[in-house]
Structures are given as structure tokens and as C-alpha cells.
Structure 1
Amino acid sequence: MEIKAFGRVFQMRFGKHSDRETRSTIFAFAQTVPKASTPKPTERMLRDFSRSAIPHRAISLIRDGVLAQNWRVVPAKAGDGRSYKQAIRAIENIIKHPNETDDYRTFWGQIVNETLIGDNGAAEIVFTGNPTQPMKLYPVNGFSLEYCHGFFENPKQPRFCQRQNQYNPVYLYDEDVLYIQHNKTTDSAFGLSPLESAYRQLMALGSAEEYAALQASQAMPRNALNLGEGVSENDLKAFRKYFAEEVYGSGRSPIIGGTKGAGSLKIGAEGDSELFLEWQKHLITIIALSFGIDPKKLGQGSNTDRSTVEEQNESMQNEAIRPICLLIQDAINEKIIRRLGLSDAVKFEFYYEDTHDQKMKAQQIIVDQWNTNALTFAEYREKLGLPYIDSPYNDMTQAEMKSALNKKYAVQTGGFNGVGKNQKDGVDKKTNGEKNTKS
């Protein structure tokens, strides 16, 4: 059935919601988190680590990549000529302006952040009764939600429970919550986020950075001078005075004598290996791989070759950004469009532009097809994105086109392949010249 009046369809499908505006029942920032609702490590530990430099950079790269993707709401079936302008406009309003304070970037940016930190990007669905924007979405702290017992046996039971305190639970049904998980496991109802998978490595990284920073900030000398045996207290004081007044800060190499068995003792760490900086680089690589990002994007190594950078961008697009885009795409189609009863009419989708390298490869494939006579002249121009022209050669392949041109422009066709030139004239001139020379 073609949708001509989206408002009437909305009223008919959701009459129980249309007579009032529903109110949000979820607290945006819960005071306490139920113990059963948080996987290990805890929410506080994951959020603290997400604010450190390396994971913050990884999260920002993926989030900004997702938000930069182009998207559209289109008819669900290819070739559907019916108009769904009113329905498409309503869904676009929900996505672009989810609630009174958030726009597209702030709201969906929060959802991506929570998915990468805790694998629990969540929002509450609230019906408005307004056909131009029938839903509002409010971001939720996914760590504050715990699964209700019995939901998996009976989907009609509440799915989530959120507690403001121990005696005031709020129950939420599956249809009222948009909940995004990337890695579901059979041993737990909670997912596994990239940040959590790298948690132990992040702890080790923090220890290595703290130790290296401590060594650098303390400015402790790396060696001590041992004056050997039999040094008196007066000699020891004299050497200390000499170093304090004559050596420190002068930049000159001290020369001493008169001691037996003088030598130096190593008392501090030096070099990357003893400061564990090589281990730190290894941990950065592990964290980058947990997020599906090339380590060079996090400062590990250098980007000097253009083709290498393009490969890194393409790899990140396919391995880190698109999977999150697909999660959001499925959530919108399932929780927004399906709840509005429009699954058979329209759908939401991200669409991606090819990189320069991909465009060049695609163009080369088209040229190869033309050179092997797999395309006609009209098909060749169409695949290259060139406008249609009225030509007598449109239905010819390259070989057929060359043959037709040769017949049209060559006076003598036997053995000549020139185009646009009278080859016979050149032959006649050469032949006449040879005869004149012989005579």
C-alpha cells in the first residue's frame, strides 16, 4: 500500500502512543551501578583508560570516521517508483535531531563512544505523537543497565532494569531501548569492547609510561664514582667539593688521580630497553590491532609513502569504521523504522565513496574490457561516466570500430591500418621516385 499520508498511518499504527507524549524513565547518569550489570573490568576503570592518549586517539579516529560517512533513507525495494517523501522526512528528522539538546554528531558520537568503550551503546526510544518526528532518542549509560531474568525465555518480559538505588528499579522493554553490541558471547549477556579486550595491555602500558616518566623527571645520575679502598673522610669531602664546584655544569671532562682502584658504578636505567620503551611500542601495536587500526595511525612508525597511507586508510575503513556503521544501520532499521511499521517501505543505509586507488583500479578494468572487445562504444562511455553521444559506432566494439574507420578513410584497404590518411598516395610517391632513379 502506497503511503500517501504518513500522519494517518502513524495514528493508525500507534494509536496507543498518539494521545499522549511519553516521558523518559531512564536516568542519564546513574548514581550507582548494580554489580551484576558490569562486566570486569569495571565501568570506572574502562572510562579512565579511554581518556588516556592512545585509546582516546583510537576511539576518536573510529568515531569521526563513522560520523563522516554519507547516509540516506531510500525505498526498501529497488525500482519502487512510489513516493515516501513524508515518511523519509520523518525518519531523517529522528536521525538528525534525536532530542531537544543533541544533533546528529553529538548523539551518534556518544553511541559510537559507548560501543567502543563498553560494547553497550544505548538509547531510550520515546514516542512523541508528532507525525513529523514520531520518536525521540535519549542517550543512556549502558553500564547502568542490567538484564532482567526471564527475558530470553519470554520476550514479552522486560529486557532491562536500571536502578537509581537498591529499592527503586526501572524496568524497560526491548522495544523501548536501542541497544548496540558488537561482540556478543555465549558465556555472558554482555559484549566485549575493543577497549576491554586491550585492558590488560593498557594497564601494562600505563606502568611502562609511569616508570619512564619517573626516570625522566627525577633526573637521577646514571653512574656513581667509586674512589676505591683506603679513601679517608677528608679525601672524600675534597672530591665532592671538587665535583660540585668545578665539574657540574661546566661541560668539561673531569680528570682525577691519586686514588687506588677508582671506578664507576651504574645506578640508573638508561636506553630504550631499560626504560621499557620498546615494550611500550609493542603495547601500542596491540591496542591498535584491538580497535582494527593500523599502528601507524597511533604514531607507531612513520607514514612516508603515499600508497602506504592509502592502504592504511582503506584498511581502517574496512576493518574499523564500516563494522560500526553496519551496527548503527541495523539498529536504525530495526528499532526506528520497523517500530514505525515502515520496514516494507523505506530503509536507512550508509554509502561509501571509493578511494582514489579504488577509482583508478575500477577505471582500468573498464579500459581492459574495452581493449578486449567486451564492451561496445556506448557501454564504454557509460561505464566511464561520460555523457551519451549520437554516434554511428555506439553499437560497435573497439575492433569493429577500427575496421569501420579503416574502410571509411583508407583508399587501399589491403594491408593498411592507417586512419584518416591516404596511404596509397605515399605508396605512389615512393614508387614513382624509385622509377625515376632507375631511369
Structure 2
Amino acid sequence: MKGGVIRLFEKLKKVLASAINFKKIPDSKSIPTDNFGYNTFKTQYKSTIPRNPTYRQLREFAKNPIVSQPIEAVKDRIAKMSYEIKPKIRGRKYSKQIKLIKNIIDNPNIDQTRRKFEAMILDDILTLDAGAFEVCKANDPNHPLYLYPIDGATVQHVIPMDYTDIDGYKYMQINDNGNTYFTRRELCFLSKNNFTHKPFGLSPVLKAYDYIRYYIEGVDKTNEDVSTKTSGMLINLGETATSDEVDKFREYFMNEIEGTGRIPIVGGTKGLDTKQIRSFTEDALYQSWFNLLITMVCSAFPYPVEKMINVSADRSTTEDFETRIIDELVKPYANLLEDAYNTHIINALGFGDILEFKYVYEDNENLKTKKWDRLNNAFIAGTITINEWRESVGLNPLISDYANLAGDERKAVINKELGMNGFNGVGNIKDTSDAKNKKVSEGGG
């Protein structure tokens, strides 16, 4: 009986704790995605959604296997990257503050991890150049901020923008209750390419879309010119062909051969002969068009075209591709998230003057070797300390009087302690014998 009461009491405690924790989770003002079918906003404010093509067309275009590969390359690499919260003041740890910030970043809300959260934001930035999330305050000392991802296409910039009022409305959203407004503290909007004349930029997916559209328009214009002009080829039936035979062959070719893929068979000649009447080159088989399509998409991001076209590559070439992807594609978008975390989490909590969020980039083997050689040479030359060397290669610092001394300074301290070169002793070597130490301890000399 007593055990049953205890179990009931423990269950009641869990229910009450769950209810209390639930109240600590803040409500969101925003709608997570476009549930109301607004692909254009009919207000006095300028929309962040590209009008041509629409954001729905861009999202469908981004699902194409060729376009999605560089998108996934960015999302996967950033999601797998480690990060660190670095103190801005050397020698200080700020362990409690760093633990609090990591709890927010690793668990932005009750439904998502950092990787899922970042993947959603990056997808909107790469597709629309419009990533967004809402920042909500909570009454939980261990998790004071919650981050809710928002469909970037639903967010509008309030025009004209007030750069002086930190609490003024900067963004808005249309929902079933009308317009919802947000301050720059309540909503984070991420865009890689920014302009003074409009609040949103130009995404890689839109660039690829425009590249392909411009090319197709050019091809259409060329085809139109060809169809309205004289053909560049003719077929000669020979000097003995009559007008009636020419008309019959023309009718036969137009009705039976063109557009069917059939092999035309004609008679009345001696022997069996074949003539090529259309091109069998790579251009005619559309292989060059496929490679051109890949090249246009890769140029828009940028992304190594060799990673998408089948080419043999050795280890050094593969490492070069990876370095290019990190430097030219991953880092610019990782920098956007770094700024977002520093502004809307670290600065918002009042830690901006002491802490900073940074992603940790893993060097390839070639760069690791060069970095190792450079650090070793610097340590041998005496320009860095052993602890600076260890920190640079990812090792914990040593607890030693010599570990934070560099070069000549370290040698001088060691020489002084060992009595080398006339320091603290007789001759060149300090007397460390038991007799000497005993005599000193007895006060004899």
C-alpha cells in the first residue's frame, strides 16, 4: 500500500514538472510556412519574394538532381562541422555562459537539433536567398531563448526601413489574423547578397534558373531564325530526275521520313549505297547540352563541375575539389550563420563583449602537413611558445613554468635555474650535491 502511494506521488510530481516546463516554452508569433497560399503580398510593403520566377517555381527547380547536389553539399558539410564558443579575453573560460549558449544552439527548440534547424535555414538561403527564424524569450534560466525556423518566402521587409530605432518593426508576415510585425530582435533574416535598393538578394538557384532560361531563349531565337530562313542543305536527285519524280520524293520524305526516325529506302540505282542525311555527333545526341546544363548550374553556386561530370581524379585532385567547395561555397554561408548566432543569441544574452561563436574547419592532409611544418619551424625559431604550438594543433596546454615561454626567454630561465654560464653557482655548473644542500640548510653558508 505504502509503495503504491509513493509511486502515485512520483507520477504526480512528473506531471506537475511537465506542466511547469511546458509553460516555460515560449509561444511563436510567426507561421512556420505559407499555409495560406500567399505567393504575392498585396500590401504597401515591398515583398521579398522574386516575382519571376515565383518562389514555388524556384523550390521545384531546386529539387532537380543537378541543382540539388550543390545545395546538399553545403547543408551536409555545415551540419557536420564542429563549432566553438571562444572567449574574447585571453585566459578566461566563462564555462557557465558557454554551456548556456551551447544548450540553445544544440537544441534551438523542442522539435529540432542544430543540424535539422540549420539545414532548413540553409535550404531557404540557397534557394530564395531568404532564410529566417524567430527568436522567442523563455522563462527558463537554462534555456532562455528558443529559435523557430520560418519559411523565408513569407517574410516581408517593412519599407521604408528605420535604421535608428532598435525596437522599431523591421519585418512582417501575413497570416489568418492579418499582419504580424517583428522587430530586428524578434526575427533574424539571412540573405547572402544584399542591396541598397531592395531588401533581398540573389540566390544561387535563381542564378542557375536565369542562366538556363537565357540559354533556352537564345536557342529558341536561333530555331526561329532557322525556320524562317532558307535551309543550309539541299538534296540533288540527279540530272535525270523529272519534276514529277522530285515532287514524289519530296512528298515521300515529308510524309514518311521526317519526324519518324525511319531509314529512307529508295530504288532505281545500281548496287547498295548509303548516304548520311543527319548528324550523329555528340551535339545531335544532346550530350553536350547535358554537360552545358551542369556547367551553368555549377557556375551559379559555384561548385566544381568536375564533381558532377564523370572524370577520374586522384587523391590530390579530390582534396583540391574539397578545398574549393569549403572556401568558395561553404564558408560564405557558414559566415551567415555565425553572424546570426552571435547577434541573436550571444549578443542578445549580453555576452557579446566576452564570447564569440565560430565554426571549426577541418584541414585536408596537404594543409595539415604545411601547417605542421610551419608551426614546428616557428617553435624551433623561438617565435612561439610550446603551449601556443599545442593549442594550434589541437592539444591541451601543459602546466609548466616553461610552457608559456618562447625561445631565448625559455633558455635564459633554464640556464639560471641550472646554474649554467655562471648563474647562481661556482664556475659553469651549479653545485647541487647533498653536502652543499645540507650546509645551506644548517645555515652554514
TM-score by length of 1: 0.66
Task: Give the distance between the partners of 1:346 and 1:381, measured in 2 at CA.
Answer: 20
The structural deviation recorded for 1:293 is 1.5
Task: Give the distance between the partners of 1:382 and 1:200, measured in 2 at CA.
Answer: 49
Please name the residue that 1:278 is paired with: 288
Which residue of the other structure, out of 147, 150, 158, is the alignment partner of 1:148?
158
Please name the residue that 1:157 is paired with: 168
What is the correspondence of 1:411-430 to structure 2 with a 5 Å cutoff?
Answer: none
What is the correspondence of 1:57-96 to structure 2 with a 5 Å cutoff?
Answer: 57-81=69-93, 83-85=94-96, 87-96=97-106
Matched, 1:295 2:305: yes
Greater mean alpha carbon deviation, residues 272-281 or residues 99-108 = 272-281
Query: AA paired with 1:280?
Result: F
3-state DSSP class of the match of 1:327? helix
3-state DSSP class of the match of 1:159? strand
Which residue of the other structure, out of 342, 346, 354, is the alignment partner of 2:355?
346
3-state DSSP class of the match of 1:48? helix
Please name the residue that 2:139 is paired with: 129
The structural deviation recorded for 1:193 is 1.1
Structure 1 residues 320, 260: closer, same or farther in 2, change over 3 A? same
Please name the residue that 2:65 is paired with: 53
Please name the residue that 2:437 is paired with: none
The 8 Å contact of residues 24 and 140 in structure 2, kept in 1 or not, is answered as no
Q: Deviations over 1:12-69 (max 9, x none)?
A: xxxxxxx975421211122313344212431012101100011100100111111111
Matched, 1:44 2:56: yes
Structure 1 residues 115, 184: closer, same or farther in 2, change over 3 A? same
The structural deviation recorded for 1:201 is 2.1
3-state DSSP class of the match of 1:273? coil
Matched, 1:318 2:330: no
Task: Give the distance between the partners of 2:174 and 2:266, measured in 1 at CA.
Answer: 74
Please name the residue that 1:364 is paired with: 373
The 8 Å contact of residues 27 and 140 in structure 1, kept in 2 or not, is answered as yes
Matched, 1:179 2:189: yes
Matched, 1:28 2:35: no
Please name the residue that 1:107 is paired with: 117
Matched, 1:308 2:329: no
Matched, 1:374 2:381: yes
What is the correspondence of 1:9-20 to structure 2 with a 5 Å cutoff?
Answer: none
The structural deviation recorded for 1:276 is 4.0
The 8 Å contact of residues 121 and 142 in structure 1, kept in 2 or not, is answered as yes
The structural deviation recorded for 1:226 is 11
Unaligned runs of 5+ residues in structure 2 are 1-22, 219-234, 250-262, 409-445
Task: Give the distance between the partners of 1:381 and 1:74, measured in 2 at CA.
Answer: 16
Query: AA paired with 1:162?
Result: Q
Task: Give the distance between the partners of 1:378 and 1:171, measured in 2 at CA.
Answer: 53
Please name the residue that 1:331 is paired with: 340
Q: Deviations over 1:286-306 (max 9, x none)?
A: 32122122111222x514222
Task: Give the distance between the partners of 1:136 and 1:337, measured in 2 at CA.
Answer: 13
3-state DSSP class of the match of 1:186? coil
Task: Give the distance between the partners of 1:41 and 1:295, measured in 2 at CA.
Answer: 25
Q: Deviations over 1:67-113 (max 9, x none)?
A: 111102232322225x432x222221211111121112111111111
The 8 Å contact of residues 119 and 192 in structure 1, kept in 2 or not, is answered as yes
Please name the residue that 1:416 is paired with: none
Task: Give the distance between the partners of 1:358 and 1:279, measured in 2 at CA.
Answer: 37
Structure 1 residues 199, 377: closer, same or farther in 2, change over 3 A? closer
The 8 Å contact of residues 34 and 163 in structure 1, kept in 2 or not, is answered as no
Q: Percent identity?
A: 27
The structural deviation recorded for 1:350 is 0.9
The 8 Å contact of residues 227 and 259 in structure 1, kept in 2 or not, is answered as no
Query: AA paired with 2:95?
Result: Y
3-state DSSP class of the match of 1:316? helix
The 8 Å contact of residues 201 and 283 in structure 1, kept in 2 or not, is answered as no
Task: Give the distance between the partners of 1:376 and 1:345, measured in 2 at CA.
Answer: 27
Please name the residue that 1:406 is paired with: none
Structure 1 residues 315, 263: closer, same or farther in 2, change over 3 A? same
TM-score by length of 2: 0.65
What is the aligned-residue RMSD (CA, Å)? 4.6
The structural deviation recorded for 1:161 is 1.3
Task: Give the distance between the partners of 1:380 and 1:96, measured in 2 at CA.
Answer: 30
Please name the residue that 1:429 is paired with: none
3-state DSSP class of the match of 2:172? strand
Query: AA paired with 1:42?
Result: T
Query: AA paired with 1:374?
Result: A
Structure 1 residues 254, 341: closer, same or farther in 2, change over 3 A? closer
Structure 1 residues 80, 309: closer, same or farther in 2, change over 3 A? same
Q: Deviations over 1:178-215 (max 9, x none)?
A: 2111110122111111111222224468899xxxxxxx
